[in-house]
A and B are shown apart, each in its own frame.
Chain A
Amino acid sequence: SQKIEQNSEALNIQEGKTATLTCNYTNYSPAYLQWYRQDPGRGPVFLLLIRENEKEKRKERLKVTFDTTLKQSLFHITASQPADSATYLCALVPGYSSASKIIFGSGTRLSIRP
């Protein structure tokens, strides 16, 4: 069956450390992956998109990798801050067509302690 799995439901790390979140997918061949941030009671907010031919993408303290052989994306936040505490969602467009619907993983709740 088709699945998008994100590593632990919750991740707690110390401020200043690098947070690494994992997204694994099964039986999809996405053309690209997206990462979103969601705060309690609010809709998700887009952070980054990485295409299948890109190994790595960076934006300020964020870094995303995409390994189509492992069927995995890693999302890193360097020099983490308490304000980074939120739920992070990975999303993909399933199938060969990049014009299909967007589907989401279950998310990882990240807490950064001071």
Chain B
Amino acid sequence: DTGVSQDPRHKITKRGQNVTFRCDPISEHNRLYWYRQTLGQGPEFLTYFQNEAQLEKSRLLSDRFSAERPKGSFSTLEIQRTEQGDSAMYLCASSLLRTNMNTEAFFGQGTRLTVV
């Protein structure tokens, strides 16, 4: 297992187009997180899953954003009708929830989205 992988690494899209990102977590991890990060800021929480269940979605996230983790393994994050303000690094992380306590999060390299 080589860690958390994200695809693609970079995506340039025109405003109004839909984009989809994929995240493959560490195989035994039951928690999966999506974050968004802009320059000079920390990762901003978007949503997270435990196995296939989406437990929480940030109130800052518009209806244009949707995430799935259909079989409790890989996850996809879709952004519909992209706007220039969506340009950011999208980070995926996974962790193992053990005896009701989170362990540390392992991050992927991120997907850099540029909306032109």
- Majority SS of interface residues in chain A? loop
User: Could you say which of B41, B93, B97 contacts A43, with CB atoms under 8 Å apart?
Assistant: B93
Q: Please indicate the chain B residues that have their CB under 8 angstroms from the CB of A44 in the complex.
A: 43, 91, 93, 105, 107
With most chain A CB atoms within 10 A of its CB, the pick from B44, B55, B101, B109 is B101
Q: Which residue of chain B has the shortest Cβ distance to A102 in the bound complex?
A: B105
Q: Which residues of A contact B (CB under 8 A)?
A: 4, 6, 9, 31-32, 34, 36, 41-46, 49, 89, 91, 93, 97-107
Nearest CB of B to A27, in Å: 16
How many chain B residues touch A (Cβ–Cβ < 8 Å)? Answer: 26
Q: Name which of B33, B35, B56 has the most chain A CB atoms within 10 A of its CB.
A: B35
Q: Is the CB of A89 within 8 A of B56?
A: no
Interface of B is mostly: strand
A-B contact pairs, 14 of them (CB 8 A): A9-B40, A31-B101, A34-B105, A36-B105, A41-B110, A43-B93, A43-B109, A43-B110, A44-B93, A89-B43, A101-B55, A102-B33, A103-B45, A106-B40
B95 at the interface (CB under 8 A from A): yes
Q: Which residues of A contact B4 (CB under 8 A)?
A: 43
Task: Give the CA-CA distance A42 to B91 in the complex, in Å.
Answer: 9
A34 to B43, CA, bound (A): 14
